[in-house]
């Protein structure tokens, strides 16, 4: 139901939702991500709440829906 509802939102919304599912990051961290955060095949995130630095490989895959950050960054046009 959530996936179907996301398809009726602006184009960026399902991508942001997928990125949150794959990385487990908070909304605040998702909205602050930018293409320049991708370095050497990894998405580098500094969490707003904790200051923790994390680097996710773009090949990271959430098995159930088959999502990975690399596919999401390619699909985005923002």
Continuous segment of H or E residues that includes residue 43: strand 42-46
Question: Where do the domains of the chain lie, and which CATH numbers do they carry?
Answer: 2-75 (1.10.443.10)
Q: Answer whether 10's CB lies under 8 Å from 17's CB.
A: no
Q: Answer whether 58's CB lies under 8 Å from 73's CB.
A: yes
From edge to edge, which strands make up the β-sheet containing 42-46?
38-39, 42-46, 53-57
- For residue 30, give the 3-state DSSP assignment: helix
Q: What is the pLDDT of residues 5-32, one digit of tens each?
A: 777 888 888 888 888 888 999 999 999 9
Flag whether the pTM goes above 0.95: no
- The residue ranking higher by pLDDT, 63 or 52, is 52
């Amino acid at each position: 139901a959530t996936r179907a509802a996301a398809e009726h939102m602006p184009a960026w919304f399902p991508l942001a939702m997928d990125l949150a599912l794959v990385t487990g990051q908070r909304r605040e961290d998702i909205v602050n991500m930018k293409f320049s955060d991708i370095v050497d095949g990894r998405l580098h995130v500094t969490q707003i709440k904790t200051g923790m630095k994390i680097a996710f490989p773009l090949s990271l895959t959430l098995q159930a829906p088959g999502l990975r950050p690399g596919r999401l960054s390619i699909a985005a046009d923002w």
